[in-house]
Amino acid sequence: MEHVLSASVQDLEVNALSGHLFWTSAHAVERARLNGQDRTRYWSVENFSGRQLAGITLDTLGEMVYWLVSGLDMLDLYRASSTVDGPLVSSTVQLLGPVHSYTLSHVLHFYDGKLFWLDSDSRLAVRDVNSSDVTTVPMATGKLTTFTVVQPSLQPLPVGYNSTPSVVPEVVHPSEVAVSGTWDDFNITWATARGVEYGTTLYDLTLHYGNRLYAKVTSDNHYTIADAPPYTPLVLTLLPFTYWGSAGQVTVHLRSPESAPTVPVRPRVFITENSDPLSTLTTYTAQFRWSPPQQENGLIQGYNVFYQNASSQNASAGSSVAMTTVSNSTFQFTLENLEPGTTYTFQVEAFTSAGIGPRTPAVNASTQVVSPPPQLLVIGDAGLSLADMDTNQETALTQVDVDPVAVGYLGQEDTILFVDAGNDRLFSVKRDGTDLKQLVQLDSAPATLAVDWVGRGAYWLEGGGMFRYRLEGEDPTPTQLASGLGQTGELVIDPLKSTLFWTATVDNRTNIWTSDLEGTNRAPLFPSSPQRNRREANTPAPATVAPPACTCPQDMAVGPGLSIDGVGGGRPEVYFCGEAVIWAADTQGCTCRVVYNGTGETDTGLPCDSLTVDTSHVYWTNSEQNLLCSLEKASGRDKTCQDNPGANSVLSFSPSLQPYPGK
């Protein structure tokens, strides 16, 4: 059962050919479609006027509707067109004149140009529609209470039909709904609903996208849209219907047509230096990266990358721009074997099936300025991983049954070394997580590891002693180099200076200690003796200039984090954490500077658990605060901290951070 409309109904007639309902209340004559639409009023009379409706009937073939209005002692006969639509309906109403009869039954019928009703004496009264004469038809039954006219011609089929036609449409299948046109002027189209043999098929549609909602009834099988952005999700609900019935509605999820995308964002270039320790060859690699456009305007098909040697000698020679295309899931392009001392230019554009978007501004990078992508080896609750801080992507390097506690690496070989505390073993693994190998069984698991990429050795501190394992050689067992070092912490190495640095607590004071690669010539970096003020700075002053006074505090507070920066450069520095300060000191322990002072701030990640440095940033962790923090090491600005639960240790990873002598 379907609810069509709400109305006060006294008498009701149905015109099946035109699909209309006609009815009277006590004081009005109305009409609507069979589905309740297009409701309109023919005629009405005021309440308490002494007049009311007394019956309604249809002349289907003549397309007329008749009704009687009763007064005090007689009837008035009206008629109007049964098919005229719109505001002209009321204008077709005609008063055919008074009827010298009366009725109480509200029974009125039409047949063959005549009207039939029951008069006040319950007799069958007849009048020709074009005459005012009323006659009564004698009936053997005496008084009548109701009657009807039975005649097939009163229920005619549509012209040209020999049987009852189908008038209820079928459901439009979602596969028959499509989008056509361009994003700024397109149509949603659908197949004409099948199953209708007579009458007009209409479509009740609602369309929703963004914060817009449109509703419309149309006989077309398309709907035009001109204000939807490209590739916008559209939700269309479509209900095919006729005035006789409707099919089930269908909801279809579509998108507006695609357009060319906007420009990719954040174009940037990283330069990595790769040295071959067995030759004088140094090669350079550029990694050009970008992020997807802010408005993709469709499905990105791929990216066109343009690059050129932009140095002056090549530009004057007319160096051509090269292009390559990468997939839509690739956001970087690697260019290898770059020339030393050369500038390269990169651009990228995205494209969809609708077209190519604009290129990014040119980004220049010189092989004279090594700037590798920021990557960290992270030891956390989930094991060991390699995290790219630029793309926020992380690659797991260990399985769940491994418990890494210390890590180092050989950058030129893409090999990572780590200590497994679960089984006291030293392992190696490739940067992509493959080729896992056990190197040596240990007596215990040290919490710190430093790798000599020049001398091919792994160093660690354990139980107050210093140990070394030769990565190449005949001796398969670790060698103890020193003992009695106190309560040791972090360990770092500068193999080009043949120097080890580590933190240790001796006589209730935590300091940074140094030694050669054999563990001898040990000395504190920050001695308490006044002799420290007579040390020379790391870079000797000219003979005509007095050596500068040392600037490191007399009682430097040293925390657990330790790293070394600038290995192979003119002035390497040791970075370390204090209670609320990150310091950098020269390798003589004379000149100190504050990299970051977090005194009075909250969520600083200090004091740190571990600390590391790459070519541009300082990174540190605080497991108690669940923070991984970073800032620009040159300016000490742009500090950011992010939640990183379980990050216990970090180490910057890049072949460029491990130069070789003479490179």
* Successive 10-residue mean pLDDT values, the chain, 663 residues: 84 93 94 92 90 93 94 90 87 92 89 92 91 87 86 90 94 96 95 94 95 94 94 97 92 97 98 80 93 97 96 60 96 95 96 97 95 94 91 88 94 94 94 92 94 96 96 86 96 96 94 97 86 47 62 90 88 94 95 94 92 96 91 92 84 92 72
What is the number of other CB atoms lying within 10 angstroms of the CB of residue 195? 14
- Could you tell me the two tokens for 171? 């459901």
Residue 312 carries which DSSP code? H
* Gap between the Cα atoms of 191 and 194, Å rounded: 8
- Asked if residues 525 and 583 have their Cβ atoms less than 8 Å apart, the reply is no
- What is the pLDDT, as a whole number, of residue 102? 87
Q: Identify the CA nearest to 631 among candidates 643, 645, 644, 616.
A: 616
Rounded to the nearest angstrom, the gap between the alpha carbon of residue 385 and the centroid of all alpha carbons in its chain is 25
- What is the pLDDT, as a whole number, of residue 533? 45
* Gap between the Cα atoms of 650 and 561, Å rounded: 10
Q: What are the φ/ψ torsions at residue 313 (nearest 5 degrees)?
A: -70, -30
* Gap between the Cα atoms of 234 and 241, Å rounded: 22
- Could you tell me the two tokens for 451? 């790798």
- Asked if residues 256 and 340 have their Cβ atoms less than 8 Å apart, the reply is no
Residue 119 carries which DSSP code? -
Same fold, 174-255 and 265-366: yes
Q: Identify the CA nearest to 655 among candidates 340, 375, 289.
A: 375
Q: CB under 8 Å to 479, separation ≥6 — which residues?
A: 467, 468, 469, 470
List the domain boundaries for the chain: 11-154, 174-255, 265-366
> For 546-609, what is the HEC assignment?
CCCCCCCCCCCCCCCCEEEECCCCCCCEEEEECCCEEEEEECCCCCEEEEEECCCCCCCCCCCC
Beta strand ranges found along 342-441 (DSSP E): 343-352, 355-356, 363-366, 375-380, 383-388, 393-396, 404-410, 415-420, 425-430, 437-441
What is the number of other CB atoms lying within 10 angstroms of the CB of residue 225? 21
* Gap between the Cα atoms of 426 and 272, Å rounded: 28
Q: Identify the CA nearest to 204 among candidates 171, 150, 240.
A: 240
Q: Identify the CA nearest to 562 among candidates 622, 505, 494, 512.
A: 512
What CATH topology corresponds to 174-255? Immunoglobulin-like (2.60.40)
- What is the pLDDT, as a whole number, of residue 313? 53
Class of domain 11-154: mainly beta
* Gap between the Cα atoms of 623 and 330, Å rounded: 34
Considering the entire predicted model, what is its pTM?
Answer: 0.76
Burial of 393 per CB tally in 10 Å (0-12, 13-18, 19+): exposed
Query: What pairs with residue 574 in β-bridges?
Result: 564, 585
- What is the pLDDT, as a whole number, of residue 391? 92
- Could you tell me the two tokens for 64? 């007329």
* Gap between the Cα atoms of 77 and 96, Å rounded: 5
Q: CB under 8 Å to 251, separation ≥6 — which residues?
A: 235, 236, 237, 238
Type and span of the H or E element at 15 = strand 11-15
* Gap between the Cα atoms of 649 and 299, Å rounded: 40
Query: What pairs with residue 236 in β-bridges?
Result: 207, 252
Query: What pairs with residue 619 in β-bridges?
Result: 612, 630
One CATH from 3.40.50.970, 3.40.50.1820, 3.40.50.300, 2.60.40.10 for 265-366? 2.60.40.10
- Asked if residues 306 and 288 have their Cβ atoms less than 8 Å apart, the reply is no
Helix (H/G/I), strand (E/B), else coil: 86? helix
Half-sphere exposure for 513 (CA within 13 Å, toward CB): 27
Q: What are the φ/ψ torsions at residue 656 (nearest 5 degrees)?
A: -65, -20
